Amino acid sequence: MRKRLRFAAVVALLTLLLAPAPALARSDPGPPVTVPALTQWTPESGAYVYRPGARLVADGPAERRVAGTLAGDLRAAGHGSVPVVRGGARSGDIVIDVKPSRSSLGAEGYELHAGAGLSITGATETGAFYGTRTLLQLLAQGDRIPAGRTVDVPRYKERGVGVCACYIHVSLPWLENLVREMAYNKLNQLLVELKVKSDAHPEANTWGYYTKDEIRQLVALGDKYHVEIIPEINSPGHFDPWIENRPDLQLTDSDGNKQPSRLDITQQAAFDYYTSLMDEYAQVFTAKSWHMGADEYMLGSDFAKYPQILKYAQDTYGSGATPQDAFVDFVNRVHDHAASKGVKLRIWNDGLTGANTVPVKADTTVEHWLNVAVKPSQLIAQGYSVMNASYSLYLIRGGFHSDTESLYDQSWDPRSFEGEKLASSRGVTGAKISLWPDNGRGETENEVAVRLWPALRHVAQATWGDPHPDAAYAEFVARGAAVGHAPGRRDLTRVPVADGTYTFGRSFTASVQRTADGYVTLRSAAGCLAISGGKLTLNVPLQPGIEATWDTCDTSGTLQRWELEPVAGGYRLVNAITQMALTVTDDGRIVQYPADQRTPAVWHLS
């Protein structure tokens, strides 16, 4: 976790989520408006008009999968029910083709041709799928699509978003919205640092974890929308979510002090513990990559305080070895375990300081976020694939937010690393934006979403095509507004009841008031309902069983914001920050618990 700057939250930006999509004004007809912008466009006379009676023509299994997803999205976007058929096309139909012979389209490119009918062709199923995202964006602006042809191929193979739900719990509906938005904007990689509830190690199941069924649901959505969901368990640093209750695996300094966030890389038991978690994650994740983090292991400390690390390195690699070699040894052993399962390893760059004599395995992908001694050009020269995960692309709750407008005006692209601008894209896999919860109560999920959408569209543009398709940033923002949000995206700012005073079962009476970010506050004569006690993690009370209290009302207090979740018979109350639901104990106390630990109370409002 990277602790950074503070910022003043701009809640008013939430109105962008609800504002109607304006048309993008253009001084000339130009290419149709999409995000990312089309890499090329050849206009023709006339137009394709989407009308009732249009069909999706798809013959093979791959084509029919793409068409089936498109049909569902057309329905969700309000374009009606469109049948998927085989056979010849007629005027007005939409034809989906997967032709491996079209190798020039690559793994993700497509050709779209609009005329009396409309056709989408990819060399792969993924390419054809991306063509359907372009079609949906065009239809979001009206049923008439100018006639013409585009061959649209991405410049970079990795176009991503990283989410650290590594201590706090980010709600599943929010993550599902993100997957849909990523696919809509042709982003293909969601890297998630999170905890899956462990059967093998129940002592590690501190909140906020995800159940295996929740992850299977998210991965299935990712598969459907061609977003690879890559898991991360950060190690050997930032490992405290997993070894809080395992002091035997915590690194111990020369004074006997335990380091609860650091795994003792000199222990075989520590390696076995980590790889057993990897194996358990393989039960629910299907990605062919594994991210082990490997960042900030000695942050704020010194290897000299841990003489056992140097001893391990010298015992393993000889008297000339350095403590950093023990760290690289751990990375390489994890690499080999992943490789034995057919999975490639990814790490952050800051652990590669040049102080090691043992190299990291060459087929490891390095995600570069921090300017350190070993530059991206050196990593590429050494044979590593490098992804741009620059700090300038970070969005931190309660802290630094990427300045998307400035990056756009600079024509930022994935060659622009922290500390070095490359002349060539050779060896650069792409780029991602990263979301961190360093001050977990600093913003709600809905507030994060407002900041995210412009940054998401920008990185989609910069990794797919021309990083500066419009003369001014305001025009690029209007481009995003014109295409709108993904079909099927849930409006998580909608409150299911009107403001007013309600009695919650037999427990309490409170005034329910909608907040600007789409939650509610519950106000009584005693104050506002909040979760404010217990142990804090990233400034969030993540301890199950903590009692809800009536605190002095504070309009900026995110821990006083609640989701009213409709269920059969009433509503659940879920805290907007802790993401735990309220339940009532036998002695009448109102406490928070994860839903899989205690059945949430269902509140009938009257």
pLDDT tens readout for residues 262-310: 999 999 999 999 999 999 999 999 999 999 999 999 988 889 999 999 9
Mean pLDDT value of segment 1-22: 39
| Mean pLDDT, range 1-6, rounded to an integer | 39
Between 4 and 323, whose confidence is greater? Answer: 323
Beta bridge partners of 15: none
What pLDDT score does 26 carry?
Answer: 41
Looking at residue 301, its pLDDT comes to: 85
Dist CA 73 CA 205 (whole Å): 37
- pLDDT score at 92: 97
pTM, whole model, 2 decimals? 0.94
Residues annotated as catalytic (active site), given as ranges = 296
Residue 60's region, left for phi above 0, alpha for psi from -120 to 50, else beta, is beta
Tell me, what DSSP letter sits at residue 166?
S
pLDDT in tens, 178-227: 999 999 999 999 999 999 999 999 999 999 999 999 999 999 999 999 99
CB 509 within 8 A of CB 523: no
Cβ-proximal residues to 85 (8 Å cutoff; 6+ apart), any chain: 55, 56, 57, 58
**What does the pLDDT read at residue 38?**
97
Distance (Å, whole) CA 170 – CA 175: 7
**Percentage, residues of the chain above pLDDT 70:** 95
pLDDT surpasses 70 at 4:
no
pLDDT single digits (tens) 421-464: 999 999 999 999 999 999 999 999 999 999 999 999 999 999 99
pLDDT of amino acid 6: 35
- The pLDDT score that the predictor gives to residue 300 is 82
Written as one letter, the residue type at 340 is S
Q: Hey, what amino acid is at 44?
A: E
Amino acid at 295: D
Point out which residues pair with 235 in neighbouring strands.
293
- Over 70: is that where the pLDDT of 19 sits? no
String of DSSP letters for 5-73: ------GGGGHHHHS--PPPP-SS--SPP-SSPPS--EEEEEEEE--TT--EE--SHHHHHHHHHHHHH
The pLDDT, as a whole number, for residue 20 is 42
How far apart are alpha carbons 550 and 511 in whole angstroms? 13
Task: Kindly provide the residue ranges of all beta strands, DSSP E only, lying in 183-315, ordered along the sequence.
Answer: 189-194, 228-235, 250-252, 258-263, 289-293
Distance of CA 425 to the CA centre of its chain: 24
Arithmetic mean of pLDDT, 461-481: 98
Q: Which two tokens stand for residue 240?
A: 């405290």
Find the helix or strand (DSSP H, E) in which 529 lies: strand 527-530
Task: Tell me the average pLDDT of the chain.
Answer: 94
Using CA of residue 207, residue 213, residue 218, residue 222, what is the dihedral sign? Answer: positive
| Chain CA centroid to CA 136, Å | 22
Number of C-beta neighbours around residue 86 at 10 A:
10
The answer to whether 364 touches 346, Cβ cutoff 8 Å, is yes
Query: What does the pLDDT look like over 320-374, one tens digit per residue?
Result: 999 999 999 999 999 999 999 999 999 999 999 899 999 999 999 999 999 999 9
**551 touches 560 (CB < 8 A):** yes
**365 Cβ contact list (under 8 Å, min separation 6):** 289, 344, 345, 346, 347, 384, 385, 386, 387, 429
pLDDT at 41 over 70: yes
Token pair recorded at residue 252:
């111990």
Q: How many helices (H) and strands (E) does the chain have?
A: 13, 31
